[in-house]
Amino acid sequence: MTAPAAPESLAAVFRRLIANTGPISLMHYMGEANARYYASRDPLGSGGDFITAPEISQMFGELIGLWLADMWNNAGRPEPVHYVELGPGRGTLASDALRVAKRFGLEPQVHLVESSPELKHLQLTSLPQAQWHHDLSTVPQTGAILLVANEFLDALPVRHLVKTAQGWRERMVVPEGERFMCIAGDRPMDAAVPEERREAEPGTIIETCPGAAAVIDEVAGRLASQGGAALFIDYGYDKVRDGSTLQAVRAHQKVDPFLNPGEADLTALVDFATLVPVAQARGCRWLGTVPQGRWLQSLGIDARAATLAKAAPEQAEAIESARHRLVSSEQMGDLFKVMGLAAPNWPDGAGFQPG
Ligand code: SAH
């Protein structure tokens, strides 16, 4: 018997595709690269490529569970109710959140939207009661929805538009030696740039994420018609800005996004400001977009850390360092934002009040 052939590298696939049919868009490049990346490994944790808030501390998922239970309670404890998570990774956030929610009598049906077979396998172990979905379309259309997405939107492919002497063009990808590089496409793309941003210096880049807008559009429509609330947590910005934020991370280091596609996690900052009117256009309420540190502190992370440390004094130092990592402005506290959405007749939700 011969060993099964190793899958052809994505770089080789891209080279052949480009040779046959011409440059591919950056959006296509990033989408395919991440599909390959997530399908083949568990990227999380110290032995992996990056670490996320729920993997840093159980407090993160617990406070999210508390927030959801409080919302559901104040909305009159509707049934049926569904917990929906987009891109649940190892299932850690869901396990922590559902454990806390149960203490408040909230025991929702669990729906996980996951494209990676490898991660689905891990989620199966931690959440055997869950149902899996390839996308939101198969999640039940009746019953309130409590939805969470942590570091999900940042993995969706971005489109880059670049200003050239001939006008706006899409950034396309071609091979260059070992790596790939971006060039301006030939097709005019001026119509895709908002009018007030069209006048710009040559070389200006505008980054958009049509996939993120599509997810928000669908979630907001579901919340408006089914009732419920959603939390989107990601690193991103809430004021309009120019420029590329594309980056690649491998083994906890930034690497070249144009070398070895499919071998590193490609992400871009989330443009939260653009997503708000998308949600509102579907009749959904925007509760606010606030820094993660402030949100966790208003939900009581300091007190929770103190309780945990008292129960396990030998871990007090580790608990404090995890708390600090989640909330401090030099670490995740300011760069990460929490955006809350809710059905029109649902309550305001803790942590989004100005202050
Ligand atoms: N939320 C987890 C994991 C973040 S990594 C945590 O905080 O630890 C990104 C997650 O989104 C992974 O589970 C990945 O497989 C999933 N994902 C990425 N793109 C996706 C897509 N287009 N559809 C569904 N899931 C996707």
**Nearest ligand 1 atom to alpha carbon 85:** 1
Q: What is the mean pLDDT of the chain?
A: 95
Q: Is 81 in the pocket of ligand 1 (CB under 6 A)?
A: no
Q: How far apart are CA 202 and CA 223, in angstroms?
A: 41
Q: Compute how many other C-beta atoms are within 10 angstroms of the C-beta atom of residue 135.
A: 13
Q: Is 151 in the pocket of ligand 1 (CB under 6 A)?
A: yes
Residues in the chain with pLDDT < 70? 1-5, 355
Question: Which long-range contacts (C-beta less than 8 Å, at least 24 apart) are formed by 95-99?
Answer: 95/61, 95/126, 95/127, 96/54, 96/58, 96/60, 96/61, 96/62, 96/64, 96/65, 97/61, 97/62, 97/64, 97/65, 97/68, 97/148, 98/65, 98/127, 99/62, 99/65
DSSP 64-75: HHHHHHHHHHHT
Provide the pLDDT for residue 45. 73
Provide the pLDDT for residue 29. 98
Q: Which of 46, 96, 116, 132 to mutate to test the pocket of ligand 1 (most atoms within 8 A of CB)?
A: 116
Is residue 236 within 8 A of residue 271, CB to CB? The reply is yes
Query: Under DSSP, is residue 322 helix (H, G, I), strand (E, B) or coil?
Result: helix
Cis peptide leading into residue 80 (ω within 30°): yes
Q: Is 152 in the pocket of ligand 1 (CB under 6 A)?
A: yes
Amino acid at 205: I
Closest residue by CA, ligand 1 atom 17: 87
Provide the pLDDT for residue 7. 80
Q: How far is CA 66 from the centre of its chain?
A: 20
Q: Is 40 in the pocket of ligand 1 (CB under 6 A)?
A: no
Closest residue by CA, ligand 1 atom 3: 89
Provide the pLDDT for residue 2. 60
Provide the pLDDT for residue 355. 59
Instruction: Please name which of 59, 13, 68, 3 lies closest in space to residue 36, comparing C-alpha atoms.
Output: 13
Distance from residue 107's CA to the centre of ligand 1 (Å): 23
Distance from residue 157's CA to the centre of ligand 1 (Å): 12
Provide the pLDDT for residue 304. 96
Closest residue by CA, ligand 1 atom 6: 89
Measured in degrees and rounded to the nearest 5, phi and psi for residue 159 equal -110, 135
Q: Which of 38, 52, 265 to mutate to test the pocket of ligand 1 (most atoms within 8 A of CB)?
A: 38
Model confidence, pTM:
0.96
Query: Tokens 């070249």 sit at which residue?
Result: 256
Helical spans, DSSP H, in the chain: 10-21, 26-39, 53-56, 58-74, 92-103, 117-126, 210-226, 272-281, 292-298, 301-311, 316-327
Distance from residue 244's CA to the centre of ligand 1 (Å): 21
Distance from residue 199's CA to the centre of ligand 1 (Å): 36
**Nearest ligand 1 atom to alpha carbon 149:** 1
Q: Is 116 in the pocket of ligand 1 (CB under 6 A)?
A: yes
Provide the pLDDT for residue 15. 98
Instruction: Please name which of 221, 201, 202 lies closest in space to residue 213, comparing C-alpha atoms.
Output: 221
Q: Is 155 in the pocket of ligand 1 (CB under 6 A)?
A: yes
DSSP state of 250: E
Q: How far apart are CA 170 and CA 213, in angstroms?
A: 18
Closest residue by CA, ligand 1 atom 10: 87
Closest residue by CA, ligand 1 atom 11: 87
Q: Is 150 in the pocket of ligand 1 (CB under 6 A)?
A: yes
Q: How far apart are CA 108 and CA 148, in angstroms?
A: 13
Provide the pLDDT for residue 3. 61
